[in-house]
Every structure is written in C-alpha cells, then in structure tokens.
Amino acid sequence: MPPKITNPTVWQQAELLMQPAFIRVVDNIRKQLDESSWKGTYHDVLIWPPHTTDETKAVVTQLLQEMENATPEQAEAIRENLSRLPMPHPGYHLRLQRQEQEVSVDLWDLCYQVCFLNYSSEEDVVNIDTSLIDEFGDVDWQQLEDKTKRLVRNVFVTLPGD
C-alpha cells in the first residue's frame, strides 16, 4: 500500500523526490540487468488492500467492467456499490526471471524505500529522507543516486542463487 502522508511539508518533499527516485530506480535496474544473468520485464499490476478475498476482487472487477458501458444512472449505482468495497491501486512490478526461477519486485515500494527513512509497508507514518534534499530545497542528485544504487544492488544481491 502507498504510504499515507498527512503532513503538507512531507507531501511536498515526497512530490519533489518520487519522480526522480523512480527514474533512478529504473536506470539502476537497467545497469544491474546488464551485468546479471537475470532477465527483467516490467508489468502493470493491481495492488489490493491486505485481506481482500478473491471473491471480493472478482466482484470489484466485474463492477468496474460494467461501469465501462453503463448508463449514467447505472454508473451512479455502480459507484455507490464500489464505494463500500476495497479498491486496488495501480502498481508497477519488475519480474526477474532466470531459468525456472522468478522473482517479482514492486517498483513503487522500492521508490518509497529510497524516498522515506526506514520505510516499511506496514508503517502508517513515513518520514522523508531529508538527506536527499539539499540546503536550497532541491533534490541532492548525488545522495539520491547513491541511495538508489545501494537499494537496487541489494535487490540483485539477495536474488536466489546469487
């Protein structure tokens, strides 16, 4: 799940860092793949809230499909039903494959690890890693690159058999 940010300063800092972090994550993954026996492909995925049953996922998916061809009145009823159900958010995963082995890496989660201090998907409160922001309030590109490189390298170092 994406982190919940209620502090406007943290929100502004996250907005400043997320896009550059994502770009650095993808670029560092490319560099690691160039040196690795693993092959990587990127995939859009739906991330469901924890404990969402397969039945609920099927109901939500069906309602979303019905929404595409619904009349305005039907669409309103569908939106009302959906408002009471857990909704997925879009995710972006890197699928790493080598022979019969396969590992999936959540790229947004990796970006959150770059941008936030000691990020864990179980945490409700997040704090920006302010070392990634220079004294002028801009991205400190060298700090961002160093942290991103370290985190991406760690993903590859912990792959099975490596």
In whole angstroms, what is the distance from residue 152 CA to residue 150 CA? Answer: 6
Single pTM value for the model: 0.79
Q: Pairing state of beta strands 89-98 and 39-47?
A: antiparallel
Q: What is the pLDDT of residue 1?
A: 63
Distance CA 37, CA 13 (A): 36
Q: Is the pLDDT of residue 149 over 90?
A: yes
pLDDT tens, residue by residue, 50-92: 899 999 999 999 999 999 999 999 999 999 999 999 999 888 9
Q: Could you tell me whether strands 89-98 and 101-106 are parallel, antiparallel, or unpaired per DSSP bridges?
A: antiparallel
Q: Of 62-66, 125-129, 135-139, which gets the smallest average pLDDT?
A: 125-129
When the pLDDT of each residue in the chain is averaged and rounded to a whole number, the result is: 92
- Domain residues of the chain, as ranges? 1-36+103-162, 48-88
Q: What is the pLDDT of residue 49?
A: 86
Residue with tokens 């302010």: 130
Which pLDDT does position 153 carry in this prediction? Answer: 97
Is residue 104 over pLDDT 90?
yes
In degrees to the nearest 10, what's the CA dihedral of 162, 23, 44, 7? 110
C-alpha separations of 29 from 37, 65, 141, 148 in Å: 13, 34, 17, 10
Query: What percent of the chain is modeled with pLDDT above 70?
Result: 99
